[in-house]
Structure 1
Amino acid sequence: MSKHIAILGSTGSIGTQTLEVVEANPEEFVVDVLTANNQVELLIEQAKKFKPDVVVIAKEEKYPQLVEALKDEPIKVYAGHEAIAQVVQMGAIDVVVTAMVGYSGLLPTINAIKARKNIALANKETLVVAGDIIQKLALEYGVSIYPVDSEHSAIFQCLLGEFDNPIEKIYLTASGGPFRGKDKKFLENVTAKQALKHPNWDMGAKITIDSASMMNKGFEAIEAKWLFDLRPDQVDVIVHHQSIVHSIVQFQDGSMKAQMGLPDMKLPIQFALTYPKRLKTDFPRFNFLDYPELNFAPADSENFKNLTLAYEAMNKGGNLPCVINAANEIVVDAFLKDQVGFLQMSDIIEEVMNKVSFIQKPSYEDYVLSDSEARRLAEAML
């Protein structure tokens, strides 16, 4: 039977690639819900092509345009973040693909879990901000969370058949981004245009900047802690600039498993949607003879301070990962607008981490307040 899916953030990089997977496997999937933040033209195009039951645009000022464009289609049209958080509870949905960017994905994910919908998780910030709440809810409601990030999908795939065997350590691989090997003197003057040129992956603007600053890898470490029930010292980051080995699991006997392949997000997206099945694809195949050498190096946390800050947040726990995420969203947006320097982003994040009230065991309401406080402080520092 076909799986009914909702795609939150259908106009972004993960969302559009998810729809490519759907289009390639029409007998496997039915699209019930599409949502977007701002790109109303693309959302209209997607809605007319995939004929979902519901579409939602977060920016309410775009609602009239969406309604007018879809007036002849049998599609319900809504607007606003609250509507996104509500439509994920629709009865027919089997899987919710959470591909929204940043903190905005938290409440829809919580609501989807409470409605007993399985989650294909591409919004790492959900676990960064409130991993404890998400994991408790998933257990309470019997919901599976399937990772979409290539690194976490790799760990998940390496663990198949190994769930009773304790993990000694995992290694998340990082490409190093566009500034691999650069020092602080170089990084002082880099521009958003330079930072947006990722060497291996085609991603949205925010995650591409996070990759350049290594914050993305720090967030992935926090995400891995929650997804695989690990201690911070069991999560390591290594630089692997070819992006062929997507991550590695080391077991207590010393044996290691790696998941490999050419960099293509459609593979982990498809696996998250079809697990435990692997569907045949026409994706390009990796050839060892094209890569006579695969290189690995330690992560550079001295020149890329964000990685250190993320580990500090993970080790201390509480509301600190929520705080670092909020501050990072503010400074990345400012960097994209040329309002702050590349290295200054880390300085502001660190200062916000030191100033926001620390809460060891936060509730959901505490996370909401911590997010707001961190954003206000970061904006004031800008």
Structure 2
Amino acid sequence: MQSFDIVIVGAGIAGASIASALVDAGVEGARILLAEREDFPGYHTTGRSAALYSALYGNETVCALTAASRAFYLAPPPGFTDHPLLTPRGCLYIAGEDAVGELDALEATAQRVGARTTRMGAHEARAMVPVLRDELVSAALWEREAMDIDVHSLHQGYLRRARAAGVVLSTGAELRAAASEGDGWVLTFGSAKVRAATLVNAAGAWADEVARIAGVPTIGLMPLRRTAIMLDPPAGADVHRWPAVIDAGGSFYFKPDAGMLLASPADETPSPPCDAQADEWDIAVCVDRVQAAAELPVRRVARSWAGLRSFVADRSPVVGRPAAHPGFFWFAGQGGYGIQMGPALALTGASLLLTGKVPVPLAERGVDVAALSPDRSQLRQAD
């Protein structure tokens, strides 16, 4: 039976990033296993992301982690990737008369995290995205430093960095059993068993399932299905220069993507952990909402898909060891923000795993152990 110091369950962006961060933290001589239930990492949520970096998207903890991730994105470690992780896009948050207060809240977030924004009226917003309807857009907030994220390069960079340092990646390795033994675990993956001193739960939508297998209290994780579709751009329109457009009220977004428009109704339909598929009703809702705000003739839906965004009650990530199970480490509940805040969250996770503390630069941004803890009162209320 092989023995590892750390076994990480899940090799999507969560598991891959914390594996890489542990390596960067200098865990010399430690044996680390990265176990993925699918045949290749990133099959589920990681591979289905809208891939936008916006420091205004999410709650206070998420936005602080996102802002702190910017430096990594702009200057990743040498050899991490051959391509830029961020490319200019910009993001236009739009609001009708009944949702202007949402723009005020976004401006307050921008001031808190140091993001540069510009408030503008409907005429200025239409100058940027000419298809926006005047009657439904009364004001907007322009986040100029929002960027497109190369999710594939980010994910592969993490995996490459981890494997180069000796992390063992095992695919097709679904956790079947986890038995506490002394100060560690005996874990069963298919017919194979391994020993682990620490079990890191980075299983995304399946994270509560992993906890149940290990006999650890769950965190009330809620996988929520989100739909995305690809649309043809309007005839003759140069959409390449358009920013991402997000409804400040949270009812839809669209952005240029590979010469087309990626759109979503920002739906959050409860779902069991699964290989999520787009629902015809959600596709129709997406088309209706986008067309209500923009003059976008939809002749066809070129492609559709869905992914699961997994949240807990307070919509902040869950990172840390439960007091009653110190050999178990949560790295879950990242919702739809796991990519944009990934670098800073991985750094935080590695630090909490090794020292029990949040790194000082992140603590100075307001990232707090208590806000991430699996023992926080908000989670117990959710149960």
**TM norm. shorter chain > 0.5:** no
Bigger strand share: 2
Higher relative contact order (CA closer than 8 Å, sequence separation 6+): 2
TM-score by length of 1: 0.30
More helix by share: 1
